[in-house]
Amino acid sequence: MTTTALAAAATLLAGAFAAATFERWLERRRRHELAWSVALAFFAAGALSLWAGAALGWDGPTFRLFYLFGAIVNVPVLALGTVYLLAGRKVGDVAAAGVGLVSAFAAGVLTVAPFTGPIDPDHLPQGSDVFGPLPRVLAAVCSSLGALVVFGGAAWSAYRALRGRAGPHGADARLLALANVVIAAGAATLSASGLLNSVADEMAAFAITLTAGITLLFAGFLLATSPPPMAPVVSLPSATGAGAPSRRDPVAARPRT
């Protein structure tokens, strides 16, 4: 019952965050926000599969969906958002094409991959117990490369902040560095479910880390998409001696006496 409630909470949380991030994309049409919306939707699909498995029992279709959205395609799409944010649209479009092809290939593999062992309806299966090499290789490669991009983006943002360079779209470099560090922490939390298996069963561990990791990801997304701080406004003297307002002084200029 506890695991079912945790999985339900993770599903609802991921769905709500995906909707909020998609709304931000609709307002500003920035592609990293669209990529993050899709990534959160994939995390929600993985959590929903976990919820179904915990509540109704595991079977072949439920585990295939959980493995696809929870172990293969979610982290690469998350990393795609980092690429768009830090490298720009041109590089991001190339990366998006690659991620799309790999995701489609993985979906096809997971649809037809035969099971090599029985699925216990009461326990979350391990990929090594029920799948052959190809699905497990896809999970390992996609997760590791995606995480490498996310962590590399955090390190690059921190480097730019230390050098005092501005981020994309005029973003504050320090805020952008913090945002990418929080996103990296969320990705690390999502990959840490194996560490909890010693104190909780597999389904509870995944539900706990999904909830915590998705929350961190969304916090990082909000930081990364925060508008840059407004420049202070000053008044500049006009030819007639009256101060003309500029962007450095919020006080309107008054005639000099």
pLDDT tens string 94-137? 999 999 999 999 999 999 999 998 998 988 888 888 999 999 99
pTM (2 decimals)?
A: 0.78
Q: Is residue 257's pLDDT more than 60?
A: no
Mean pLDDT of 51-79: 91
Half-sphere exposure of 165 (CA within 13 A, CB side): 9
Whether residue 21 lies inside any domain: the answer is yes
Q: Which residue has the higher pLDDT, 207 or 97?
A: 97
Q: What is the mean pLDDT of residues 28-36?
A: 91
Torsion angle in degrees (nearest 10) through CA of 25, 168, 79, 156: -160
Query: 240 in a domain, yes or no?
Result: no
How many folded domains does the chain comprise? Answer: 1
Residue 250 has pLDDT above 80, yes or no: no
Q: What is the pLDDT of residues 173-189, one digit of tens each?
A: 777 788 888 888 888 88
Does the residue 139 lie in any domain?
A: yes
Domain presence at residue 246: no
Domain boundaries, position 68: 2-226
CATH number, domain with residue 194: 1.20.1070.10
Q: Is residue 159 part of a domain?
A: yes
- For residue 254, being part of any structural domain is answered with no
Cα torsion through 44, 46, 47, 49, rounded to 10: 120
